Structure 1
Amino acid sequence: MDKKKLSERDICTKFITPALEQAGWDRLTQIREEYGLTKGRILVSGQMHTRAAPKRADYVLFYKPNIPIAVVEAKDNKHSVGAGMQQGVAYSDLLQVPFTFSSNGDAFLFRNALLSEGVLEREIKLDEFPSPEQLWQWWEASKGLSEAQAEVVTQNYYTEGTDKTPRYYQLLAINKTTEAIAKGQNRVLLVMATGTGKTYTAFQIIWRLWQSKAKKRILFLADRNILVNQTMQNDFKPFGGAMTKIKNRQIDKSFEIYLSLYQAVSGNEEESNAYKQFSPDFFDLVVVDECHRGSAAENSNWRAILEYFSGATQIGLTATPKETSDISTTHYFGDPIYTYSLKQGIDDGFLAPYKVVRFDLDKDLSGWTPEEGMVDRYGNAIEVREYNQRDFDRSLVLSQRTELVAAKVTEFLQQTDPMSKTIVFCEDRDHAGRMRSALANLNTDEVAKNSRYVVQITGELSDAQANLDDFITPRERYPVIATTSKLMTTGVDAQTCKVIVLDQHIQSMTEFKQIIGRGTRINENHDKYYFTILDFRGVTNLFRDPDFDGDPVQVYVPPVGGSPVPPAEPFPEPEPKPDWDAGTGDDAQTEVRKFYVDSVDVKVAAQREILFDAQGRPITGSLKDYSRQTLSGEFESLDDFLSHWDAAERKQAVLNELKAAGIHFEALAHELGLGADYDPFDVVAYLLWERPPLTRRQRAAKARRADVFDKYGDKGREVLDKLLDKYADAGVGQIEDLQVLSLPEFKELGTLVEIVRQFGGKAGLQRAIKELEDELYSA
């Protein structure tokens, strides 16, 4: 057998997999081939999107189904034994596993980051691959686990009756938390961006601790009814009859898993503190959802619950640790044991990226001062002073400003998709009500189809629960637009929300992150891959804050001696009311006198889309300069660019690489004066080397004149002509996706199978498309 002629897949099948099985690795439970780590970042261009290549390891080896322990990277035999090591180490770093192997079928290069044998890397024979027990013994020793601790750590997660398994970062969070608790750590903080599965991760942690008998009675605390209900109905459902929800302060001590609102077990009066019906040692694990909220504050009623059960292990879950001069999540729970950020989630393709369109309104920029003696709509004398953006919709209502914002939101939806689920964040309930009315007036055709096209969702409304449930349910079309103030900032799993409108003055980074989190979930079944932020208050300036996606910096200083003046509660704690009202106190109406003015014109002074670089930072300078600098690092010369382009099997893959590096081709073409009719190929060549550009239609016309396609016959030529039409309309990505042949315009030429057969099979069609591309981009 000549190994040099074998493909990489053949090397895996004939040499690597047999070596693993011979060493004692079980093919069904321990060897995972072509293991997907990430999904590939979603790249957005105009209204189109595509995905960058996902990260996929050739092999990930698991000691137990929940414990990844090694990565094996394979290469064909034309490469050296260690050619895959660098790539394998990158995957090992992602999984945080200590063992990496590279092989070309001749041997393995073995990297042991624990230095168990006193050397970092060494070559071993195919029949010397270490067993699962050997690798685990080395890793277990490095962790310092006792036998009892190892039993907890190796307890499997829940898989029964489901194909769902934790993603790599969820596994890390689960394993790190479980291990820390097994070793005796009693305060644990997990920081995971909204939409990355905090509750599912918490369920798996609780399941393993519960199944291993390390923790027997568990309390899960949240501060919103919807959080508790969603958790019971979805992620926690496998607990079945062992689980209960505490309602109406009624305590039944026969269960093992308890879920509760803070408000259902606490209050301002001693007799209302229902949690004291439990003994302080009743629970041995307390999990606090959204722990940056009420329980983060010293001397709060909600913190008192945690302190009452202080003997229990406590886990805090949040996307946004709160660190102010008065409140500190990390002071109570400690530094995060694991952090998975918004940026990581977007880079990995698990979270939706966002576009930002900012509107600067003239009165927001210049302010407004009433004339002496001016009265408002209701005859109230308006206080004479300068009113600015902070005042608008709080102490002064400019009705034309509300109508202008509603008009711009409507205009955006009509230009994109009027049925895009949209949340409009307003200053308060009054503002949310007026915004609902303005949007309804501008969308009478949609409201005529369904009166719930636009609704107000705030805590005091009797239909708020029903409207919220339908808004966040993907299969429900209505409501489409929801106006709110605070109620939907956190804990609302709005999977299909495509537009977030900011017409609220926000200074809190925590609140900003929570609001952005409403749009970060992806739902491919409902075509939700990215979302758009329409900013009318300059709130997205917070994207420029270096702390936007960084680790929290603790600025809280705990008091020394004596009782400090209690800091203000971040959210009021109302007496519990039936179901919906429990947990909605944070949406309380602020009682501030307002003036309502109808006669002041408000206009858009500037409108622009904010673009972001590869690190997620706003591009503040010239897009041309930024792009030139970025692209110059990719290509040394025009010849280098052309050779890289010609060598690529798929041109779209090159474009995806450049988009992932932060190149915005449409905006760049516009800034260069080229418009949307030019290929990104021409945009790059023109920007860097001033090569005269051609439009896509010019390139298509040039390619049509080539006689190289005559060999495919009349029908084949017809197919290629239509592919050139698709290229002229939408670019090279269209012709490289064979599914384009299923579109209606190709039906007259035959089915997809018949068209492929015309070229002698899939490989023949791909050769023809490569020839077509060669003609498109020939000098």
Structure 2
Amino acid sequence: MDKKRLSETDIITKFILPAVEQSGWNPMTQLRQEVKLRDGKVIVRGQVGARKTVKSADIVLYHKPNMPLAVIEAKANKHEIGKGMQQGLDYARLLDVPFVFASNGDGFAFHDKTAVAQGGELESKITLADFPSPKALWQKYCAWKGFTEDQLPLITQDYYDDGSGKSPRYYQLQAINKTIEAVSAGQDRILLVMATGTGKTYTAFQIIWRLWKAKKKKRILFLADRNILVDQTRLNDFQPFGPVMTKITGRKVDPAYEIHLALYQALTGPEEHQKAYKQVDRDFFDLIVIDECHRGSAADDSAWREILEYFGSATQIGLTATPKETDEVSNIDYFNEPVYTYSLKEGIEDGFLAPYKVVRVDLDVDLQGWRPTKGQLDQNGELIKDRIYNQKDFDRVMVIDERTQLVAETITAYLKRTDPMAKTIVFCNDIDHAERMRRALVNLNKDQVSKNDKYVMKITGDDEIGKAQLDNFINPKRAYPVIATTSELMTTGVDAQTCKLVVLDQTIQSMTKFKQIIGRGTRINDKFNKLWFTILDFKKATELFADERFDGIPEKVMITDPTKIIDQDDPSFDDELNKDDDEGSPDNTAESGEGSTDVDTTTGGCGSGGGEGEPYVKYRVKGVAVNKIAERVQYYDTDGKLVTESFRDYTRKAVTRHFASLDEFVRKWKDSERKQAVIDELAAEGVIWQALEEEVGKDMDPFDLICHIAYDQPPLTRKERAENVKKRNYFAKYSEVAQNVLNVLVEQYADAGISQLEQAGLAELKVPKLKALGNPMQIVQNEFGGKPQYKQALSELEEQLYTNDKTA
């Protein structure tokens, strides 16, 4: 057996797996092959999205299922023994394991992070027979982690497994394991930061399950501040707890249950008799998990914080996508530094979260402002205060009907030219604005509303009919509602997997709120073709993407001056930032139901029309000319920034990263036995051929598209390449029948491209133009001399197609 000629798969099955199994590793429970750690980043240009191809770890070794220890990366024997080491190190980083093995079948290159502390070599070579046993690696791992004997029963507690094959993603695995390790080490305040859509609740379930099964925690409270968050949790991820789980209702804590799910609002209130949590002793709960802990629980003087302080002896785990670090509110101050963080940027790069494109729409009235004429009255007969009203005022203190109409027209036009049934959330400034936007969208989409009157719905906290449609909106299997206008109710905790359009017509100053809103679109659902989403921005809110706080590590900043306290998640926050010095701000009165924070600014408080104590007025005018000045499209780039570029620009960058020069690309193209392999290689780098053809031209070969776009070469169409071959009289050396065959095949290339030619087998000879020539087998045998000669003729034809032009 010539080992040099064996494939990578052969090396794994004949040499690596036997060596691993002979050292004691159980192939059923401790070894997994082809472990896919990432899904592949989605690249978006135009209306097309495609995933980049990702590789899988060849072998991952586990102490127990979902407790990874080591990565093995294999290569064919023609490569050096350590060829796969760097690739293996990348997988080891994702899995947070210290051991990496690379092999070509001759032995192993062994990277051992635990050896450094003991003065050993970081990398060494070992024979196939010396592969370490499970016990040896586990002991080294425990020493590296610093685990004590007392910690091990909890650390090794099994995950929940329903037998479906579902297992945590690599980052969920890290989050779960690091949390369990922290609890086992006695840490009682723990913070997990995971981007929206990355499965925080599933992660929390596995943490709770392991702590509960290990009998480390016996009574557990899961706290949230919105009914939908509790109900989604109870019916979905937490379902395996079954009869030991209850939702606290009626302000009564039932000690008969072990797992309690509750709204903050069901446990406390301003009056003493509403403080249901005091029905049980302070040590009743020994674990509390706080969902969306960036909200009420973050503030020292919050009514919700009193629950956490009452059960102060319990281990408390905070979950958030947006840790709150402001002048006076700090998650880190209460929960300590996060034990694990998984950001939006990481999620998009890994392909677990949807990237976005931004369409920024600038309206003239927003940029230039609007000023009433002297003594002008609004539609309600109110005298409009004489000043310049600008973007921050519109739909808060000043309503211009034509502006609302133009925004609604822009939304409608976008949906009609892309997908009228794409789930859409329109974020408005308040409930009144959401209702006016609903009405405008209904009138602009009469054809769709006539099919189903729930095509457009206002889903806000004050509207029971609208709220009742929330579950239908987020259910991928339900077509209606399609468009939801809202204010605050849908900013967080709404698992809208198929939301493809997020419209921002709301002034947003809070980074926390902005991140939550963007999170409504970041979920991916392959089954329903939701790979990316669009943000239609009318209020310059997406400028916050450029703020380093958007996806950076939060810094703890605490100022104790009470005069500087502003709650960025309070609906009135933006008003506080935007009000003029000589004016009051609207009193945002919550009109929502349980756990909601939708805002109605139509009444109450002191407003733009008067001084302190005077009634607040929202002016409404019509007859104002409002026009679009600009509409700019920006895309999510590889470094997480928004860039304004065409797919042509993106392709040029991707190709030149892969092939430094035109000569290198041409050489790779000509040397490739199958051109499709090069096409697929570039597709894996994010080159979306469909989008490229739409932008540059459908009549060009992939070779010409790349040469033209990446290296500024004059392109030839497929038809021109085909004609060039015919002009050279290249076919003259063949028989008349063979010439007819090759002529038809080159015409097929002109129509359908190189992939059509490369797939040309005997079946291709059955096309109508060739049928009259006889049996395909006979044609190949009689006119070409046999199958190998026929294949050689096709290969020569390919060469001729790319010969004697300026590029090749």
Task: Give the TM-score taking structure 1 as reference length.
Answer: 0.88
Match runs of 1:19-418 below 5 Å: 19-115=19-115, 118-418=120-420
Alignment partner of 1:584 out of 581, 584, 596:
596
CA distance in 1, matches of 2:410, 2:442: 13
**Structure of larger gyration radius:** 2
Residues 676 and 338 from structure 1, CA distance in 2 versus in 1: closer, same or farther, beyond 3 angstroms?
farther
CA distance in 1, matches of 2:559, 2:758: 58
Give the aligned residue type for 2:500: K
Residues 676 and 311 from structure 1, CA distance in 2 versus in 1: closer, same or farther, beyond 3 angstroms?
farther
Q: CA deviation at 1:684?
A: 5.0
Partner residue, 1:15? 15
Alignment partner of 2:619 out of 585, 595, 600:
595
Match runs of 1:678-717 below 5 Å: 682=704, 684-686=706-708, 689-695=711-717
Q: CA deviation at 1:694?
A: 3.5
Match runs of 1:481-630 below 5 Å: 481-557=483-559, 568=567, 570-571=569-570, 581-587=593-599, 589=601, 591=603, 592-619=616-643
Cα deviation code 1:550-586 (max 9, x no counterpart)? 1112222357xxx99976584489xxxxxx9210135
Q: CA deviation at 1:44?
A: 2.1
CA distance in 2, matches of 1:125, 1:711: 60
Secondary structure in structure 1 of the residue aligned to 2:150: helix
Does 1:640 pair with 2:664?
Answer: yes
CA distance in 2, matches of 1:769, 1:288: 66
Contact persistence 2:197–2:523 (CA under 8 A)? yes
Q: CA deviation at 1:642?
A: 2.1
Q: CA deviation at 1:424?
A: 0.5
Give the aligned residue type for 1:582: E
Cα deviation code 1:176-214 (max 9, x no counterpart)? 000011100111111111111000000000000100111
* Structure 1 stretches lacking a partner, 5+ long: 574-579, 739-745
* Structure 2 stretches lacking a partner, 5+ long: 573-591, 604-615, 760-766, 782-787
CA distance in 1, matches of 2:52, 2:557: 39
Residues 666 and 36 from structure 1, CA distance in 2 versus in 1: closer, same or farther, beyond 3 angstroms?
closer
Q: CA deviation at 1:697?
A: 6.2
Contact persistence 2:432–2:600 (CA under 8 A)? no
Contact persistence 1:45–1:664 (CA under 8 A)? no
Partner residue, 1:742? none
Residues 212 and 716 from structure 1, CA distance in 2 versus in 1: closer, same or farther, beyond 3 angstroms?
farther
Residues 668 and 428 from structure 1, CA distance in 2 versus in 1: closer, same or farther, beyond 3 angstroms?
farther
CA distance in 2, matches of 1:768, 1:215: 73
CA distance in 1, matches of 2:768, 2:229: 49
Deviates more, 1:642-651 or 1:453-462: 642-651
Secondary structure in structure 2 of the residue aligned to 1:230: helix
Q: CA deviation at 1:161?
A: 3.7
Secondary structure in structure 2 of the residue aligned to 1:214: coil
CA distance in 1, matches of 2:705, 2:739: 34
Contact persistence 1:300–1:569 (CA under 8 A)? no
CA distance in 2, matches of 1:749, 1:245: 73
Contact persistence 1:294–1:569 (CA under 8 A)? no
CA distance in 2, matches of 1:485, 1:21: 59
Identity between Structure 1 and Structure 2 (%): 53
Give the aligned residue type for 1:407: E
Deviates more, 1:317-326 or 1:715-724: 715-724
Contact persistence 1:429–1:484 (CA under 8 A)? yes
CA distance in 1, matches of 2:388, 2:158: 63
CA distance in 2, matches of 1:109, 1:675: 49
Give the aligned residue type for 1:691: Q
Cα deviation code 1:41-79 (max 9, x no counterpart)? 112232222211123100010111121000000011111
Cα deviation code 1:505-539 (max 9, x no counterpart)? 11111111111110111111111111111111111
Secondary structure in structure 2 of the residue aligned to 1:659: coil
Q: CA deviation at 1:597?
A: 1.1
Alignment root-mean-square deviation, CA: 3.6
Cα deviation code 1:707-748 (max 9, x no counterpart)? 889999989987886675455xxxx8x86999xxxxxxx999
Secondary structure in structure 1 of the residue aligned to 2:494: coil
Deviates more, 1:530-539 or 1:117-126: 117-126
Residues 297 and 768 from structure 1, CA distance in 2 versus in 1: closer, same or farther, beyond 3 angstroms?
farther
Contact persistence 1:320–1:510 (CA under 8 A)? yes
Task: Give the TM-score taking structure 2 as reference length.
Answer: 0.85
Cα deviation code 1:23-54 (max 9, x no counterpart)? 11111111100111101111223222221112
Give the aligned residue type for 1:160: D
Contact persistence 1:281–1:309 (CA under 8 A)? yes
Q: CA deviation at 1:769?
A: 9.7
Contact persistence 1:40–1:53 (CA under 8 A)? yes
Secondary structure in structure 1 of the residue aligned to 2:346: helix
Give the aligned residue type for 1:394: R
CA distance in 2, matches of 1:135, 1:255: 40
Residues 715 and 258 from structure 1, CA distance in 2 versus in 1: closer, same or farther, beyond 3 angstroms?
farther
Q: CA deviation at 1:257?
A: 0.4
CA distance in 1, matches of 2:678, 2:20: 37
Contact persistence 1:396–1:595 (CA under 8 A)? yes
Give the aligned residue type for 1:485: S
Contact persistence 1:42–1:349 (CA under 8 A)? yes
CA distance in 1, matches of 2:229, 2:780: 56
Partner residue, 2:677? 650
Cα deviation code 1:147-189 (max 9, x no counterpart)? 2211101111101243211011110000000001110011111
Cα deviation code 1:450-481 (max 9, x no counterpart)? 00001100001111332101000111000000
Contact persistence 1:156–1:208 (CA under 8 A)? yes
Residues 445 and 694 from structure 1, CA distance in 2 versus in 1: closer, same or farther, beyond 3 angstroms?
same
Secondary structure in structure 2 of the residue aligned to 1:33: strand
Partner residue, 1:6? 6
Give the aligned residue type for 1:493: D
CA distance in 2, matches of 1:636, 1:376: 64
Give the aligned residue type for 1:9: T
Secondary structure in structure 1 of the residue aligned to 2:519: helix
- Equivalent residue pairs, number: 748
Secondary structure in structure 2 of the residue aligned to 1:650: helix
Contact persistence 2:227–2:263 (CA under 8 A)? yes
CA distance in 1, matches of 2:523, 2:652: 33
Contact persistence 2:191–2:337 (CA under 8 A)? yes
CA distance in 1, matches of 2:104, 2:88: 13
Contact persistence 1:293–1:571 (CA under 8 A)? no
CA distance in 1, matches of 2:418, 2:789: 38
Cα deviation code 1:209-248 (max 9, x no counterpart)? 1001111111000000000000000000000011000001
